Amino acid sequence: MTPPAPWDETAPAAAPASWDDSTAAATPASWDETTPTATPASWDENTAAATTTSCGAAPPRATATPYDKTTSRTAPAPGDRTKPRTTPTPNDKTTPHTTPTSWATNTPVGIELAVVVKPIEAGPPVANGEDAPQGPPAPDDESRTGGAGGKTKAEGEAEATARNPRRIEGLLLGLAAGDAAGWPAARHRAARMPEWTRRLTRELDTFAEQNATTTLPVPIALNQPPEPLRLGPSDDAEWAAFAAEAVLRAGDAGALGDLSLERRTRASIDLSWNAVASEIAAAAERAPEVESAVLPLRARISVRAGLGNLATGLRPPATGHDNPHYFDDAACVRACVLAVAHPGDPQRAADLAEFDARYTQDGDGVHGARAMAAALALALVGADIDDCTAAALAELPAETEIGRNARHALHLAHQHRKEGTFALVPLLEHQIVDHVYSYGIAAAETVPVALALATAARGRIAEAVPAAACLSRVADSAPALAGALTGALSGGTAIPDAWRDACRTLSGCALPRLTGTDLVHLAELLAATELAVPGG
């Protein structure tokens, strides 16, 4: 079964409507707050459970979920993160709901795409964590860096070259370095090793458990080439590159028809997801059920479930709402890159990140994506770390778990600023990180940790990433999120050469087709697209 193509703008009005506010629809399919109410439904998290989906760690229950606004964070039982499900409807709002509908604009599949480049200039890097001068980039006919230009155009251009912080490069390399620094990266990269090597590691782990041995196994190569196990980026960096591809595709004004820039970007995101969902559908035809299909990729539970939903015909927001890991931070990593489409405009960056997040997330998973996109949008134009975190907090409702955690984590960061970033690690470990659930990927934990450590480090990547890696339970993505934010603040020049060399090339451990992708070159392409202009 192949997934349905996104709706065509020329289709009759009765067809499922895009989430674009300007699109007219005969059926109240959008969750626009102005749409007349048909069948009131709520996304209120206190709704009684109807059915829940499990992915190996969330048992059925009838009690309030961990995200219940009246429940303490210490209340949830192990594995209890699956929220009650009714019908897919917007966040705590009463809206019409008929059937899940498309948010995306129909785009032709299989077309050849080319990137239209338009070079831009960026502001100066942040020096030693201090505030950088702010201001819009110079017009194309001027030469200016952070408001300072040379006496002649040639002199100004030389200054721009010397001071160009390469913020997009810093974002990608910082994210990749943080991804590589976390201990789970070795496990992810071990997927490129023969299966028997991973089986042997599991057997050694069982041996250690049964024999009370404190010598624990690590990923091994034995008689195989050890290259996959060397330090380098893993799944987070590859899914970030997946998002970057959508931004690059949207930069081609001729490839996606006569659409506005924003609609091209959203159409490109939809095209990316449906292309992968087509592979899922093809794999599902050869398997008894979608969950057991052998896929040509490795992904988070939320991403795999969202792709499975797309393959069976569901559309966002249902693909993210009917998802056992709706709360995880997979979309937060993608949101960091999508902010490149709207540097300097946190609101539009957050809106675009939510559009993408709804394919795989709901609730705190969406809030976290909006927060990271808003913070990165300001970081890309040289804003101060405090301005970035303030923009992130504006996207995190105070009554949500991620909102409460983020505000508390940032309070700790400011309260203990004089003690240094490393001093914050035990405080975050004991007061923010959850030790009940079976996976350490909840956006309600990783996003607050990343924001707090970036604040404590005053935007210095060399302090934020190592501290995040010390928090072992959230080391799968918190270091990557902290690295993306601090890397964008400091620019590519702040990445040490050794880390730059180790992390610039993707190994293809999650998305094999991206094997060999050079993140530095990818950053150059993103910096040259017409999307990468402050204000969108």
Residue 514 counted as domain residue: yes
User: So what's the pLDDT on residue 400?
Assistant: 98
Q: Confidence class of residue 291 from pLDDT cuts 50, 70 and 90?
A: low
Alpha-carbon torsion, ordered 441, 444, 447, 453, to 10 deg: -100
Whether 438 contacts 481, CB under 8 Å? no
> Using alpha carbons only, how large is the chain's radius of gyration in Å?
23
Show the domain range for 283: 167-194+204-528
Please name the amino acid found at residue 375.
A
What is the rounded CA–CA span in Å between residue 89 and residue 254? 35
Q: What is the pLDDT of residues 233-271, one digit of tens each?
A: 999 999 999 999 999 999 877 777 778 889 999 999 999
Q: Residues 274-283: pLDDT tens digits?
A: 999 999 888 8
| Closest C-alpha among 412, 394, 415 to residue 403 | 394
Q: Tell which wins on pLDDT, 128 or 525.
A: 525
Q: What is the DSSP letter of 193?
A: S
Q: Kindly report which listed range (95-109, 301-315, 364-378, 430-444) carries the lowest average pLDDT score.
A: 95-109
Angle between helices 461-470 and 424-431 (to 10 degrees): 40
**What is the pTM (predicted TM-score) of this model?**
0.71
Do the domain assignments include residue 108?
no
Residue 125, pLDDT > 70, answer: no
Q: Count other C-beta atoms under 10 Å from residue 272's C-beta.
A: 18
At residue 35, does pLDDT exceed 70? Answer: no
Q: Is residue 125 part of a domain?
A: no
Closest alpha carbon to 31 in 49, 44, 18? 18
Give how far the C-alpha of residue 486 lies from the chain's centroid of Cα atoms, to the nearest Å.
Answer: 15
3-state secondary structure of 198: helix
Tell me if 336 is assigned to some domain.
yes
pLDDT in tens, 88-123: 444 444 444 334 444 444 444 343 334 343 443 444
Q: What H or E segment, with its residue span, contains residue 155?
A: helix 153-163
**How is the chain split among helix, strand and coil, in percent rounded to 5?**
45, 0, 50
Q: What is the CATH number of the domain that holds 269?
A: 1.10.4080.10
pLDDT at 529: 82
CA 396/CA 410 separation, integer angstroms: 13
pLDDT tens column, 337-384:
999 999 999 999 999 999 999 999 999 999 999 999 999 999 999 999
Q: What is the mean pLDDT of the chain?
A: 78
Is the pLDDT reported for residue 401 higher than 70? yes
Question: 520 near 328, Cβ under 8 Å?
Answer: no
Does the pLDDT at position 287 exceed 50? yes
Q: pLDDT confidence of 224, banded at 50, 70, 90?
A: very high
Is 57 inside a domain boundary? no
Is 291 part of a structural domain of the chain?
yes
- Cis peptide leading into 6, omega within 30 of 0? no
Q: In the chain, how many domains are there?
A: 1
> How deeply is 454 buried, as exposed, middle or buried, from its count of CB atoms within 10 A (0-12, 13-18, 19+)?
buried
- With respect to residue 134, please indicate whether it lies within any of the assigned structural domains: no
Instruction: With respect to residue 346, please indicate whether it lies within any of the assigned structural domains.
Output: yes
